[in-house]
Structure 1
Amino acid sequence: MNEIRMRVKALRLEMLKQNLDAYYISGTDPHSSEYLPNRWKTREFITGFTGSFGVVVVTQEEAGLWTDTRYFLQAEEQLKGSGIKMFKLRVPNAVSPESWLAKKLPEGSKVGIDAQSVTINGFRDFENVLVEKGINLVKTTDLLDKIWEERPEIPADGIFELEIKYAGLSRKEKKDTIVAELKKYNADYHIVSMLDELAWLFNLRGSDVNYNPVFTGYAAVGKTDMILFVDKNKMSVELQQQLEKERITVNNYDDFFPWLSEFRKKSVFIDPSTANYSIYETLEKGGNVLSEGTSITALLKARKNKVELKGFRQAMIKDGVALVEFLFWLKQNIGKEKITEYSVGRKLAEFRAKQEDFKGESFPPIVGYKSHGAIVHLNVGPDDALPLEQDGVLLFDSGGQYLQGTTDITRTVALGEITERQKKDFTLVLKGMIGLTLAVFPVGTKGCHLDILARKALWESGINYGHGTGHGVGHFLNVHEGPMAIRQEFNVNTIDAGMVLSNEPAMYREGQYGIRTENMIVCVEKEETEFGKFLGFDTLTLCPIDTGLVDISLLTPEEIDWINEYHQRVRKELLPFMDEFIQPFLLEITKPV
């Protein structure tokens, strides 16, 4: 922790040179990424905290990290001895970093912020709170660049093309759809800054970010032109020539802001929730007319086409086979050889790697045994992993990247003797997962309207969980994608047909165990009546649920029918692809309840 203290001290010296009373670190990159290239792991560099969400504020006297319920336990542990205090976000009475600064700093103070690493909305919200207290928000360069010795460069890994047999739509088809949407806003250009949007739009993939097959870049889609800003050295000559044939201009990544600064009185569409403030500021200086809204590319990407949806179903079969093989291995070896949380994660990857077109894990596996199960986004190494015993429950949340699609699944399984309370908790979580799965709702429904269905049974027993219920999932892209979500917080974007989401209610008893059951679901059209069009969900994930943990007395007949029908489908879909010696195991764990 001495190293972290030295880094904070060096940052404070740099702040003094810049006449700053505080410095804000957003913990992300110029592309609003959740998972980051090493170059932009600023939050981890300055605090030692390795979670995927959190912001940092450093003043001359204090330093704080703000994160959410997924990481409270992890952050407390990783910040010990650093002098950095943890603050809670997304809980009742939470104090935001900007409110904290407004209370701490006197009028006339200056707070520095890197305008390239904060969104337009983020900058505005921050500034609005500070300006009321007479505190100035000052745009700076990335101050960590001054103190980060041997800071990693942007990765130079290659970019490859995702064939149309997987993507479903050509680059031209995607561009034409965007241009048609731009007409609604009377806009000349749409700026694309998020890396998964970029990858989807150009049917390209990379490996700049662990677990996410993306590459670093920007793009602009105009009525007559389409420009990609990326390190050209990452592309083969053949790929560059192919893009040029399609009238796509390829410029270097560093050319983006100079190119943008030459815009004069154009109409440009941007997403203020994802585009960085430097983009806004550069366009504003040129006297351009800015239209704002949810990224056109993000919405198109979220509504999967027929080919993508077919691919997801193929990926689920591959993933399901790997998971059943893992469960069989676990049953055969628990108590006979040393198995730890860490080795479980490696085994999950090993079984997935046997599947054709597997391209890696979609996120670091979360494997929590007993008390570790209550740490929502636990990530253990070989040295701090708990050994598994024939007792209690194991939670494992993992996923794979396949050319056909991205997977994300959580199962909680009994390893031996369990308590009645564990059975009740498991069943209440399962009721929530089924409740959301069976939802039927009118077109125009938002995620916050559906979230209650996953929490109702838990709330009635005085139980809750602090994270969202469902996030979008990309097609051979990021395991977390927007713009929609199913969670308590309001999100303007509706749940539409073709959207693929997670469904993951949970409960955590700190120091004892955690329970989460997660399937991926796709929004589908259900019916049209005199009252309008109605939507619902189909389940994509194919993996048995541990019925030994279910308290049948707490289930309705409809819920029991759902479990039995789901397991019948898992059998039907997976048996043809299972090794013969594992088939009896699959039949056993999918017996009707």
Structure 2
Amino acid sequence: MSTHEDRLKALRAQLERDGLDGFVIPLTDEHMSEYVGAYAQRLAWLTGFQGSAGSAAVLAQDAAIFVDGRYTLQVREQVDGAQWQYEGVPQSSVAGWLGAHAPEGGRIGYDPWLHTRAWVKAASEAVAARGATLVAVNSNPVDAVWADRPAPSSAKIMVHDERYAGQGAAEKLQAMADWLAAARADAVVLSALDSIAWTFNIRGKDVARTPVALAYAIVHADATADLYVAPEKMDEAIVQHLGSAVRVHDRADFAQALGGFDGRTVVADPDRAVAAIFEALEAGGATVLALRDPAVLPKAIKNEVEIAGHKAAQLRDGAALSRFLHWLSVEAPKGGVDELGAAARLEAFRRDTGELQDLSFDTISGAGPNGAVVHYRVDETTSRRIEPDSLYLVDSGGQYRDGTTDVTRTVAIGFASDEMKRRFTLVLKGHIALARAQFPKGTRGGQLDSLARQYLWAEGLDYAHGTGHGVGSFLSVHEGPQRIATFGGGDEPLQPGMILSNEPGYYKTGEYGIRIENLVLVESRDVPGGERAMMGFETLTFAPIDRNAIAVELLTTDERGWVDDYHAMVLEKIGPQLDGDARDWLNGVCAPL
């Protein structure tokens, strides 16, 4: 179908054939993933929206697309406002919108393999207020009209060696068995792809930028497990790696297997397991305990091997980024560099390491006004030239066997205006405040969020995204449960070993964007004379912060000291990896303020 308008018409015709008055399309897959394979990109296919978070609702006459503050500008550029209403989250919600727009007595469809049970309950109650009914479908109507829908990936599963994982899969399965015994449960369903990858020490190539394999797993109280994966994804190396304690089945058999727990107690995560899993377990006679996936917390708390690997990846990645920033300082002022070219050159520097497996997400390469689009994705139609006297924002990362990176730098190309420098410095002050924070054991990320915003708030400014997200170990660049935000999370107590981003920003629509992002490690702190167990952050990312964008007079003596100390560490850690003009450049940009 040639246009998204045609696709919307086709979906409405299919809904009429299916006896439905509406349908909900989330941006996720049957594993509740944030990043999904091409086969599950239903929202993008239907609407044109290319962001990583969103959902839509389609009725016979009305349709709405729901995104958070990161995508307020992007959704308007990519989705036709004549066909779709733009709705902001969390101010609005799919359930609330349906409660206001669903036809009286209507049947609103949803795919039970793409929603949590909590969402189903909320949406059911909302539409019931209109006299409408939420109806689970057996086949997704979007798939029925998506003629050239890609097949799920058939890429082979890879072994994630213990020299990177730091702990064997058998040991992880035994820990889960002990956890099940304490919960008085017989088994736990693992449906989150990163949890399965972590538990079994496997990785895959089924989702772009995230090294996971499409699979389900059920772990039992005797420390054995059933792994459900397409047969073509297996080879002898994986069979030997998994060993006799892991029984391998066809992924297509998973739904039926859920019906085989009559009289037994099974754990499923209400935030990560879809409604269909709960329904199948209960229909088969199982007692279901709604508890958090037992892989989530130990996956987030990195062990010593993972931490060491991450630090090695960061040094490798920081050198690649520094080479790029040197190249940019030479080439961008000439006026011949555009966003696509810059992103490609940065990827090339990472590939030159010989260790890059993939990018950790599509590089956000935003020149001038495109930098104000928080999760901007450049393509041939949007790519701008990086112009003199402007700001260029580049948010990027790499997937390496020993770690996952994510770093943002904002660079002044030529002259930065006084306003640009002032707001860059306000962002930098917030970044420094969070980097230097010291806090007691039990502190939540949400309690730290305002540290990074305080200087922007003082001047009536803010940013519409969280300040920090968790990061995986050769896994997802966005990993929970830890988060630094006052909305959409941030309630998880921080613990030593967790890795998060520190990324305050500022965005002036139509003009420029600013973000400064490093990754940090939560560490224990000994405070002489202190009476409480304290923690703080160790900065892991090393690449220069643009001195030409800093209004030095706005920094306190301590803040200037932090910048100078940070740049001294960049020179110490990254300098030996550079030579020639790049090394000379690094010496200059890391000079004391």
TM-score (normalised: structure 2): 0.96
> Which residue is 1:217 aligned to?
215
Most deviating of 459-468 and 576-585: 576-585
> Which residue is 1:513 aligned to?
512
> Which residue is 1:130 aligned to?
127
1:409-436 C-alpha deviation (Å, 9 max, x unpaired): 0000111111111111001001111111
Partners of 1:38 and 1:152 within 8 A in 2: yes
Q: Report the Cα offset of residue 56 of structure 1.
A: 0.7
Counterpart-to-counterpart distance in 1, 2:100 and 2:382? 39
Counterpart-to-counterpart distance in 1, 2:592 and 2:56? 50
Partners of 1:369 and 1:393 within 8 A in 2: yes
1:2-41 C-alpha deviation (Å, 9 max, x unpaired): 6222222221122223322211111211011122111100
> Which residue is 1:290 aligned to?
288
Matches within 5 A, 1:172-211: 172-211=170-209
Counterpart-to-counterpart distance in 1, 2:70 and 2:55? 14
Partners of 1:5 and 1:82 within 8 A in 2: no
Change (3 A) 1:181 1:532: farther
Counterpart-to-counterpart distance in 2, 1:21 and 1:449? 43
Counterpart-to-counterpart distance in 1, 2:40 and 2:128? 28
Change (3 A) 1:324 1:530: closer
RMSD: 1.6
Counterpart-to-counterpart distance in 1, 2:558 and 2:352? 37
> Which residue is 2:501 aligned to?
502
Change (3 A) 1:373 1:238: closer
> Which residue is 2:16 aligned to?
16
> Unaligned 5+ residue runs, structure 2?
none
Q: Report the Cα offset of residue 237 of structure 1.
A: 2.0
Matches within 5 A, 1:408-427: 408-427=406-425
Most deviating of 536-545 and 130-139: 130-139
> Which residue is 2:340 aligned to?
342
Counterpart-to-counterpart distance in 1, 2:499 and 2:572? 22
1:247-286 C-alpha deviation (Å, 9 max, x unpaired): 1111111111111111112211221111111001111112
> Which residue is 1:113 aligned to?
110
Give 2:142's aligned amino acid: L
Matches within 5 A, 1:16-415: 16-80=16-80, 83-90=83-90, 94-140=91-137, 141-224=139-222, 225-245=224-244, 247-336=245-334, 338-415=336-413
Partners of 1:399 and 1:406 within 8 A in 2: yes
Secondary structure at 1:468 match in 2: coil
Q: Report the Cα offset of residue 113 of structure 1.
A: 0.4
1:57-81 C-alpha deviation (Å, 9 max, x unpaired): 0000011111112112121111136
Secondary structure at 1:532 match in 2: coil
Partners of 1:437 and 1:539 within 8 A in 2: yes
Q: Report the Cα offset of residue 51 of structure 1.
A: 1.2
1:480-500 C-alpha deviation (Å, 9 max, x unpaired): 111221111254422111111
Counterpart-to-counterpart distance in 1, 2:549 and 2:530? 43
Counterpart-to-counterpart distance in 1, 2:407 and 2:490? 24
Partners of 2:395 and 2:408 within 8 A in 1: yes
Give 1:586's aligned amino acid: L
1:500-559 C-alpha deviation (Å, 9 max, x unpaired): 111110011111111000000111111377743211111000111012211122212221
> Which residue is 2:564 aligned to?
564
- Number of residues of Structure 1 aligned to a counterpart in Structure 2: 589
Counterpart-to-counterpart distance in 2, 1:151 and 1:73? 28
> Which residue is 1:466 aligned to?
464
1:196-222 C-alpha deviation (Å, 9 max, x unpaired): 111111111111111111110111111
1:382-415 C-alpha deviation (Å, 9 max, x unpaired): 3421111221111110101111100000000111
> Which residue is 1:439 aligned to?
437
Q: Report the Cα offset of residue 182 of structure 1.
A: 2.1
Q: Report the Cα offset of residue 571 of structure 1.
A: 0.8
Q: Report the Cα offset of residue 227 of structure 1.
A: 1.3
Counterpart-to-counterpart distance in 1, 2:429 and 2:291? 36
> Unaligned 5+ residue runs, structure 1?
none
Partners of 2:446 and 2:491 within 8 A in 1: no
Counterpart-to-counterpart distance in 2, 1:533 and 1:127? 45
> Which residue is 1:3 aligned to?
3
1:123-168 C-alpha deviation (Å, 9 max, x unpaired): 2232233334433111113111211113211111111101111111
Partners of 1:122 and 1:273 within 8 A in 2: no
Most deviating of 127-136 and 364-373: 127-136
Partners of 1:167 and 1:203 within 8 A in 2: yes
Change (3 A) 1:116 1:424: same
